[in-house]
Structure formats: structure tokens, C-alpha cells
Structure 1
Amino acid sequence: MLRPEELVRWLGGVARTSRLIDRGIRRRAIGDAVVSGALLRVRKGWVAVPEADADLMAAARTGVVLTCVTQARRIGLWVLGDDAPHLAAPAHAGHVAVAGAVLHWARPLVPRHPDSLTDEIENVLAIVAACQPYEIALAIWESALRQRLVDSRALARLGFGPEARRIREEADPFADSGLETLVVPRLRWMRLPLRRQIWIAGRPVDLLIGDRLVLQIDGGHHVGAQREADIAHDAELALLGYHVVRVGYAAVVDDWPAVQARLMRAVAQGLHLAP
């Protein structure tokens, strides 16, 4: 028989005492574990191991579920900014107040188990679509598709709202990064072919605009050997008649008008056209 703290750890670090009792742990054993410090009493009916995730303990303490960009970031999706905790309150909950948090009250697409402290990915995406700016929400959706955390065919059978339906139709599962996702919608007004991850000279390019204008977007991993390989590839592209514009994270996120102006001037000079 597992000790109470071992079972709580196996259940994710935070658990209802009723779940422990259902699995054969006696109330007295739970109380003894709390007295000894092996378990912490988070709130009435909830316990946690001392090293438990602070966000999960906070969710249990306030009776909410981690969702939207908070849960998206926790599961490794590409999220830009917005450090405020985003929480889902159960429909039957009374007054819920969490300082500095964004509370979401929408009915979930996938029912939430009463013991859940984190939202299902489908609910996360639905709330993200309604909460975040379009391009940020699109980047999060594409990140989920790229990592195969969701299936586009399954998503098509869910009753999403209008914002999520638009994103579902436009999301590209082959987008390589969130930065790419931000760029493409910002350039559609130019009415030029925009092709992502096209292989040229033995490697994919982030974005091919028209026939010959290449936009390469450097994330934080473009250093050392990766950077040397990028420089060599840029040279190969130039020898093949392509014009390369290379930008970094800060340029896309914080100085997009300058990036756009550079690309507009390249198009004005016909650098996107095949000879």
C-alpha cells in the first residue's frame, strides 16, 4: 500500500482527499501525513506534497482551473507575453476573486472533471481564440497542431465559437514557429504568394515571398553552429538568385513596421520576381 504522500505525488502532486480515500488510504493516515509535514493541507478536501507545483496548489486553493495562455504555456505551446494567470471558474461557482488574474466563465467544450486543476487542450484553444488577439491565438493553435497535441479532424467536430472557427480554418499544422505565424497574416495585404518552409538549396526557408524574396526569422537558437549554417545557406541562396532578408525575434515582436518597410522596398525593386 502506498503512503498518502506517495499516492498524491503519483496523482500529480495535488489531490482531493476523497480520491485518496477511494484508493484505500485512511483519513487518519492522511491526517498523520499532514502533521508530519509529508503533506500540506491546501484547503478543505485538498492536500499536496511540499514540492508540488505552486500554480496547481493555487488553483486548488481557490477552486479554479488553469486555462487559456497560462495552461498553453505550461504544456509547451508558443505564447507571447501576457503573464497574468488565466483561470476558468466552474459554472456553479459562487464569488471567485483572484488578484491580478483573468477569469473565464465560458462553458467548456470538453467537460471538466471536478478534480481537474488544468483545462483540456480543446478548452484551452477555445478560450485562447476568444481571449487573445487573432495572430497570437493563431500562433498558439498552430503550435498545438505542430506538436500533435490536437488533431485537426477532431477539432472540426467541436462546437467552437466564431473566433475559434476562423482560426481552425486558417491554422497551418506545418508552421515552424510562432514567429512565422505572426508574420504571414501581416503580409497578406501585399497579395503576393507566401509559402512557408519551402526547401531551397537543401534546407527549408521560413517564408518565400513571390518567387525570389526569402524572409528568414531567427529565434533564440540561432547561435553558434546554427548561426554559421544559416550564413552559409544565405550565401547559397544568393548564388541561386534569391534575395534574403533575415530578422530576429525582437524585430518581429517589437519593431514590425521596420521589417515591413524593408520588405516593401524589396518588392518595389522587384526582388521578389524571378529573372
Structure 2
Amino acid sequence: MDAAHLVARHGGALDRRRLHELGATDHDLRRALRAGSLNRPRRGWYSTWDERDPRFRAMRVGGRLTGISAVAALGGWVLGRHALHVAVPVNAARLRSQWRRDIRRSDARDDAVVVRWVAPAHDRGSTTGIVDLPEAIELVCRTEIAEQAIAVLDWVRRTGRLDRIELAELREKLGPLRWLIDASVENCDSLPESLARTRLRAAGVQVSSQVGFTDGLARGTGGPRARAARARHPRRSPQFRSRAGRKARDTP
């Protein structure tokens, strides 16, 4: 049996007991390990993920990705680099370095791991390597700076990762931090746009996202306000710039 194909078909990580239940033998597992098609993040677990994959490293520590690390692994809008945030069971023991499973986390130096003791229990059978998205986003809102949290919420709403019911539940859980959801929008297209909107609003500038152009503005004539502004300041008008250009060319 192709053990690696079996693991990949079930999400990328299975424990030994579950693999036996699905028909894989120890010989199949050893053969896959020798071939490099399977890796072992922890004792008794087998994965098709690369050892550099953050999900694999979180499993090696002893849990799953959470918070900003989970969002980054899912392709969310993340500003800069972050430590590896790992959710582990409240009674977890034998935590390891994210880089080597033979080194205890307590002995690892500069491991760049933030452990969140929040998971109710260890995964059994299989794991996605990532906590549920609402849980990850709630942690982002509670631990990251406001502009990063708003950017993640913009991404979630833009991509439809959470439906209205899930957003309402998240809003209820956030309590005083629910204003972060109010500050997010559904029509933001990128991280730079999200950051610009948040920073401009913080500076007191009124901002609207993805405003459509009128036909007149698209042709360069602008609306009533733009025409009135040109009437008050003729030097700013295209006609003035055109006349000034001709005058400069005609001057010997």
C-alpha cells in the first residue's frame, strides 16, 4: 500500500493507529520514510508535509498553528514576519523544538515559538495542523496590533472565509474589541489598501473603499465639485496647462 498517498488523501497527517485502521502496515510506513515521501513530526505521527512547512513545525512542537501563523498558512494578509504561534492542549507535556523533535522546547534557544495553552485535547487520528479559522482570528484580534487585525478581517470578509453567522459569533466573543469588525470592510482588495485605509482613518481622514468613477471623471472632466474647483483655480485646469505649454514652446 502507498502510505504517503493514504496520508495525503486524509489531509496530510495521520497517526499510526489510524493508518493501521486504514490498512497500512509498519512495513509500508518504513518504506515511505526511507523513500522520503513521509516524514515524522512527532513519535507516532506521519505527514506528507515538508519539514519546513509551518504546520509540520507546529506538530513537532506539539500542537497546531493558531493566531497570525494560522492566517499566514492559509494565505491571509499578514504584515511582516512573526513567531510561530502554536495552540497546545492545556495539559500538554513533552513539547519540542520546532526544528528538531529530539530537543525539548525548554532546551531550545531562540526557537521563535509562542505557545498558546488553549486546546482542550490532543488531536487523535488525523490533524489539519491548523486550528479552526474563527479561533485563529479571535486570537489575532486579541493579540496583534489593530491594523493587522483589521487587515485579517478585511481578508476574511473579502474572501468569504467566514459567513455572516460566524462573523456575528466572533463579534459577540470579542466584546469591547468588536469595533475591529466594524472597522473592516467587504470590498478591500489587498493588504496595502487595508493598511492605507486604517492609517488614514486613524489620522482623521474620511475614507471610502473602492469608489467607482463617474463617466465624466473617467474622461478627465470630473464632477461638479471638480469643475467648480477649476473655476476658482484656473491655473490647475487642463486648459491652462495646455495654454502654458504652447506659450512656452512659442517663446524664442
The answer to whether TM tops 0.5 is yes
How do 1:179-198 and structure 2 match up within 5 A? 179-188=192-201, 193-198=206-211
Note closer, same or farther for the CA distance 1:189–1:60 as it changes in structure 2 (3 Å cut).
closer
In 2, the alpha carbon distance for the partners of 1:152 and 1:186 equals 26
In the TM superposition, residue 147 of structure 1 has moved relative to its aligned partner by: 0.6
In 2, the alpha carbon distance for the partners of 1:142 and 1:36 equals 42
Indicate the residue corresponding to 1:216 in structure 2.
none
In 1, the alpha carbon distance for the partners of 2:153 and 2:183 equals 10
Indicate the residue corresponding to 2:92 in structure 1.
93
In 1, the alpha carbon distance for the partners of 2:46 and 2:158 equals 36
> Is 1:103 matched with 2:115?
yes
Note closer, same or farther for the CA distance 1:237–1:177 as it changes in structure 2 (3 Å cut).
farther
Bigger relative contact order (CA 8 A; separation at least 6)? 2
What code does the residue aligned with 1:57 have? F
In the TM superposition, residue 45 of structure 1 has moved relative to its aligned partner by: 0.8
In 2, the alpha carbon distance for the partners of 1:107 and 1:48 equals 21
In 2, the alpha carbon distance for the partners of 1:69 and 1:75 equals 10
In the TM superposition, residue 184 of structure 1 has moved relative to its aligned partner by: 3.0
Note closer, same or farther for the CA distance 1:54–1:201 as it changes in structure 2 (3 Å cut).
same
> Is 1:171 matched with 2:170?
no
Cα deviation code 1:76-125 (max 9, x no counterpart): 111111332222122221364361122223468xx985443112111110
What code does the residue aligned with 2:221 have? L
In the TM superposition, residue 142 of structure 1 has moved relative to its aligned partner by: 0.9
In the TM superposition, residue 152 of structure 1 has moved relative to its aligned partner by: 2.8
Paired residues of 1:14 and 1:52 also in contact (CA < 8 A): no
What code does the residue aligned with 1:44 have? R
> Is 1:239 matched with 2:203?
no
Paired residues of 2:147 and 2:198 also in contact (CA < 8 A): yes
TM-score when scaled to structure 2? 0.69
What code does the residue aligned with 2:151 have? A
> Is 1:44 matched with 2:43?
yes
In the TM superposition, residue 70 of structure 1 has moved relative to its aligned partner by: 1.6
Q: Describe the SS at the equivalent of 2:86.
A: strand
Please list every run of 5 or more consecutive structure 1 residues that lacks an aligned counterpart in the other structure. Answer: 203-232, 244-268, 270-275
Please list every run of 5 or more consecutive structure 2 residues that lacks an aligned counterpart in the other structure. Answer: 96-104, 227-232, 234-252
In 1, the alpha carbon distance for the partners of 2:59 and 2:202 equals 46
In the TM superposition, residue 199 of structure 1 has moved relative to its aligned partner by: 0.5
In the TM superposition, residue 190 of structure 1 has moved relative to its aligned partner by: 6.3
Note closer, same or farther for the CA distance 1:180–1:45 as it changes in structure 2 (3 Å cut).
same
> Is 1:200 matched with 2:213?
yes
Indicate the residue corresponding to 1:65 in structure 2.
64
What code does the residue aligned with 1:119 have? V
User: Whose strand fraction is larger, Structure 1's or Structure 2's?
Assistant: 1
Q: How many residues are aligned here?
A: 210
TM-score when scaled to structure 1? 0.64
Paired residues of 1:69 and 1:82 also in contact (CA < 8 A): no
Measured on the aligned residues, the alpha-carbon RMSD in Å equals 3.2
Larger Rg: 2
What code does the residue aligned with 1:155 have? L
In 1, the alpha carbon distance for the partners of 2:119 and 2:63 equals 13
User: Whose helix fraction is larger, Structure 1's or Structure 2's?
Assistant: 2
